[in-house]
Structure 1
Amino acid sequence: MQTRQFADVQFTPPQGDYSLVVMRPDVTVGSVKAGGLVEPRADWTEQARANLIAALKAQQAGRGGKTLVLERRDSFPGVSAETVAELERLHGAVGNSIALHKYAGFDLPTKRRRGLEYTLGEDAVRFGQKTGYDYALFLYAEDSFASTERVAMQVLGVAGCFIGFCAPNIGGGGQIAYASLVDLKTGEVVWFNVLQAGTQIAGIKMGDIRTPQGATQMVDRLLGRMKPGREIRRAAAQARKAQ
């Protein structure tokens, strides 16, 4: 597993008397079929989401501040479920753009070496005004596991090596997740982290989020330590040198 964080250059992790709403996790878990396509499984997805919500509650309980972890979209009085869903969809588009341009090598010329410059705009600001919260934390997780047929193909591929013919490597699944922190006073994405894990051996499970242990591992790796922004780290380093 590997993670890599990006943050606004002036970002300082929330501390003290802050309020944070953790949005309902966006989760998809599926089965990798013999042909390599992933078939979503509703039962696995709901189990994984429940595990991630429990892990987020446990993790945030030790952080201080006022925190609410949303289990449903209709949890806020005066805020419709559709309003929450629209914010989630907006974040999905922005989050995918960050993952693409910051992690997949498709840099935007206007955003190179400039920390994070993404925003959810006025929709996030209005959400903050309605709910009274300072920050919103979003989590996206996608996981897949090899089916019995996929495992059998991997076994046959390995067995072929012993008789002089190795089939192309047949992967067994993979996991990608990201988390982002949005300042609800400005609408800006101030911190972002991606976790990616995978195996080329079918049947091997890497941090299975269908289990409480796997979900806890994902949350800890994504949110265990938020790094300050570049300018904040630089100022801290200079202060240490001056001592």
Structure 2
Amino acid sequence: MMGRTIALAAGAAFALAACTHTKQMADTGFVPPEGSYRLVVMRPDVAVGSITTGGGFEQREDWTNAARANLVRAIEAQQQGRGGSVRIVSTRAEAGMDPVRVAELERLHAAVGQSIALHKYAGPKLPTKKDRFDWTLGEEAIAYGQASGYDYALFVRAQDSFSSTGRVAVQAVAFLGCMVGVCMMPGGGRQEAFASLVDLKTGRVVWFNTLASGSGDIREQDGADKMVANLLGKMKPGASRPKGTIKTAAR
């Protein structure tokens, strides 16, 4: 009876892992762009690979390139119904500023985005940002907006992983252990992603969303479409500003 109970618990854990979870956050007073805004979607930062027998991540270039192309097509289709003037860039040279500075902006965003994902979602909250969403790419983003003429920049970072043959074997042995009362199930493949919208007039990250899922495959167009729909489908506005406050644009 105990073994059956543990096996059912393991099955429930697998089912839970297959769920897709997202959680949006936004700057106070944020309203999703509408009208005649100009938006640039930066080249998606993508990594796809396999989980090795020991649990490490091993990226594959062919899978990554296929997934990035699928995500670009999915974003193009998704943005067509949003209005505004939207451009998705494939290379840093197309972004409207010196490619070296674009690379610096991308690295800055990756660092800030990972910090948001850690401190607002998963890890210890920073004392100065505990009760508010307050993140910026600063002067680098403002300079980019001035050089390129865009109002907003959308960044997408995604990782998808799949269990290797060796990892599947390890999981199978662990599952058998669950049947006899010793249940230590090693992790398998999963999707993780985040997206952020940056106001290029102020440099602030005005909207952010994370995604975690134990199912899906962005190497296939259908899987990429589902990720983009979950990650970017409907931007929620931020909390209303208290009366009497004035938002000043950083320059």
TM norm structure 2: 0.85
Structure 1 residues 161 and 4: alpha-carbon distance in aligned structure 2, compared to 1, 3 A threshold? closer
**Residue 43 of structure 2: aligned partner:** 24
Name the SS of the counterpart of 1:83 in structure 2.
Answer: helix
Report the counterpart of residue 187 of structure 1 in structure 2. Answer: 203
**TM superposition shift of 1:165:** 6.0
Which residues in structure 2 correspond to 1:143-222 (within 5 Å)?
143-161=160-178, 164=180, 166=182, 168-198=184-214, 206-222=215-231
| Partner Cα distance (1:231, 1:17) in 2 | 23
1:3 aligns with 2:22: yes
Amino acid at match of 1:44: W
5+ residue gaps in structure 1?
199-205, 236-243
Q: CA deviation at 1:188?
A: 0.5
Shift, 1:80, TM fit:
2.0
Indicate if the aligned counterparts of 2:95 and 2:102 stay in contact, CA closer than 8 A: no
Q: Is the aligned partner of 1:117 residue 2:134?
A: yes
* Percentage of identical aligned residues: 57
Correspondence for 2:246: none
The two structures, once aligned, show a CA RMSD in angstroms of 1.7
In structure 2, distance between residues paired with 1:136 and 1:120: 11
Structure 2 CA distance for aligned equivalents of residues 176 and 159 of structure 1: 28
Match of 1:131 in 2: 148
1:107 aligns with 2:125: yes
* Structure 2 CA distance for aligned equivalents of residues 225 and 122 of structure 1: 28
Letter in 2 for 1:190: V
Judged with a 3 Å threshold, the aligned counterparts in structure 2 of structure 1 residues 25 and 76 are, in CA distance, closer, same or farther, namely: closer
DSSP 3-state at the match of 2:190: strand
Instruction: Mark the CA change 1:155 to 1:120 in structure 2 (over 3 Å): closer, same or farther.
Output: same
Tell me how far apart the structure 1 counterparts of residues 163 and 103 of structure 2 sit (CA, whole Å): 31
Shift of 1:154: 1.8
Within the candidate set 61, 68, 80, 2:80 is matched to 61
Contact kept? 2:23, 2:210, Cα under 8 Å: yes
Give the letter for the 1:229 counterpart: G
Corresponding residue number in structure 2 for 1:50: 69
Match of 1:230 among 214, 239, 250: 239
Local SS of the residue matching 1:230: coil
Q: Structure 2 CA distance, aligned partners of 1:71 and 1:146?
A: 29
- Structure 1 counterpart of 2:169, one-letter code: A
Aligned length: 224
Distance 2:103 2:127 in 1: 31
* Whole-angstrom distance in 2 between the partners of 1:109 and 1:86: 27
TM-score (norm 1): 0.87
Change (3 A) 1:169 1:67: same
